[in-house]
Amino acid sequence: MTTIKKNVDVLVLGGGAAGVCAAISAARSGLKVLLVESQGCLGGSRTATGVDTFYGFYTPKQQQRIVGGIPWELAQQLLNANAAFERRNTYGAGTGITYDVELLKVVYENAVLTAGAELLYHTYASLVHQSEGNITNVVLANKQGLTEVTAKIYVDTTGDGDIAARAGAPFEKCDANELQSLSTIFFLANIDVETARTISHAELSGKMKAANRSGDYVLPREEGSWHVTPHSGIIQANMVRVSGIDATDPYALTLAEVEGRKQTQEYVRFLKDCVPGFENGSLIGTSHYIGVRETRRITGEYQLTEEDVIAGRRFDDGIACCGAPIEDHRAGADTRWVYVQGDGYYHIPFRSLLPQGIDNLIVAGRCLSATHSAQASARNSAQCMAMGQAAGTAAALSIAHGKAIRQLPMILLLNKLRSQDVIL
Ligand SMILES: Cc1cc2nc3c(=O)[nH]c(=O)nc-3n(C[C@H](O)[C@H](O)[C@H](O)COP(=O)(O)OP(=O)(O)OC[C@H]3O[C@@H](n4cnc5c(N)ncnc54)[C@H](O)[C@@H]3O)c2cc1C
């Protein structure tokens, strides 16, 4: 088979929240950028898995907005189009921005293409070749066959750190039983929202416990939640819990998809039978693929820790702010919540995006260098987008100044980010 060859300045692998913002920021600097995504839409966990609320823009207690730049620009587009609304202090995570998932796909595409990046769907980044600490090319696989892409800088925004791992960078991954659980998100139509709202979150949880005790239902998670969407009578539910799965194992991931859909049917049956307002509900959609919260965490030049998160630690190379609590969806019926102290936010250091041992690679998003607990805070979507913007900007500066990413003077990167309305 002939292998097609292609050259770009920046190759962004994975078009989720982080990859989209990395591609936009690098392309806005005038570079030749290719954004590769295995699905047929942008957004990853933000769209294809049905998750429809940005958390992390605001600190939960102080309600201070701590993320600006490209993420805020994109959220504003949704709010201005009346396709999103702010939900105050929901379930302990602070104010969220709930949006129309279908419109976010279009907003992301417009922003990437207007910035001048090239977009390639239905394409999987497979082999990674490296020599003496530099990636030499990444091989893409799609219906056309294989394409070998050579870039000056590679950005790994696959969520799972696929590229860094295949390049030989060190990473951590919990045992399957300790990894955060997976969730199939589902949407129901024909809900009497006013009636459903009379049941508090605690009461709903009580009904789930009672349903399990009755032996008539099997509901693995007893404190899942639902919320309204921008569409009348349609709600989104985050209730399913599939534990003990390492999502980098495709066989385990397949079992998780099957189990997630099975649980969805059970939760829908429970809601219709037991919860006022849901009697006439119809299941109108589940995630295109099951939501994965945690797999590989790359070992970077710095590993963000639970202590950093709780203390609200600031770093000289902080490229994004995060006030999201640690929200650890461990196995079992509940979720562990721990809040950031002090003024309610900490910094994500640039070094947490730099994999050890590979010079022309930067990671962004949920595969950043962090402990399990710290990742359970930093993985929020506003922060993943902010990390993406920082990664794309760093790639552009590195090329413009002819310096390796690690050698970039921090003042240069931080000033550039501030000029892009990034809050530091
Ligand atoms: C069930 C669930 C509920 C959540 N709820 C919220 C919430 O309410 N609010 C909030 O702020 N955050 C929430 N999060 C967290 C947040 O959505 C994610 O952590 C964040 O969006 C991750 O973004 P990312 O870009 O790092 O990764 P991902 O969203 O995982 O994106 C990675 C992208 O890369 C693509 N890809 C992967 N491998 C390859 C490859 N080899 N080649 C090509 N493409 C590839 C994938 O298809 C995907 O599009 C939730 C997460 C989950 C799973």
Which atom of ligand 1 is found nearest the CA of 45? 29
Please choose from 99, 294, 381, 385 the residue to mutate so as to test ligand 1's pocket, defined by most ligand atoms within 8 A of CB. 381
- Centre of ligand 1 to C-alpha 292, Å, is 7
What integer pLDDT is reported at residue 159 of this predicted model? Answer: 98
Share of the chain above pLDDT 90, in %: 95
pLDDT digits 0-9 by tens, 225-265: 999 999 999 999 999 999 999 999 999 999 999 999 999 99
pLDDT band at 332 (very low <50, low <70, confident <90, very high): confident
pLDDT band at 150 (very low <50, low <70, confident <90, very high): very high
* Ligand 1 neighbours by CB, cut-off 6 Å: 13-19, 36-39, 44-46, 49, 51, 53-56, 124-125, 157-160, 162, 183, 185, 238, 291-293, 365-366, 379-381, 384
pLDDT digits 0-9 by tens, 71-110: 999 999 999 999 999 998 767 788 999 999 999 999 999 9
CB distance 280 to 190 below 8 Å: yes
- Centre of ligand 1 to C-alpha 368, Å, is 12
pLDDT digits 0-9 by tens, 171-210: 999 999 999 999 999 999 999 999 999 999 999 999 999 9
Cα distance between residue 375 and residue 386, in whole Å: 15
Share of the chain above pLDDT 70, in %: 99
pLDDT digits 0-9 by tens, 269-314: 999 999 999 999 999 999 999 999 999 999 999 999 999 999 999 9
Cα distance between residue 89 and residue 85, in whole Å: 13
pLDDT band at 330 (very low <50, low <70, confident <90, very high): confident
Does pLDDT of 56 surpass 80?
A: yes
What integer pLDDT is reported at residue 148 of this predicted model? Answer: 98
Interacting residues of 219 by C-beta distance below 8 A, sequence separation 6+: 208, 211, 212, 239, 263, 266, 267, 270
pLDDT band at 50 (very low <50, low <70, confident <90, very high): very high
- Centre of ligand 1 to C-alpha 403, Å, is 30
Helix axes 381-401, 69-80, angle to 10 degrees: 130
Mean pLDDT in the chain? 96
Q: CA dist 234 to 46, 226, 283, Å?
A: 18, 10, 10
What integer pLDDT is reported at residue 89 of this predicted model? Answer: 73
Q: Shortest CA distance to 394 belongs to which of 357, 352, 347, 366?
A: 352
What integer pLDDT is reported at residue 215 of this predicted model? Answer: 97
Residue that is written with structure tokens 């994975």 in the block:
14
Does pLDDT of 169 surpass 90?
A: yes
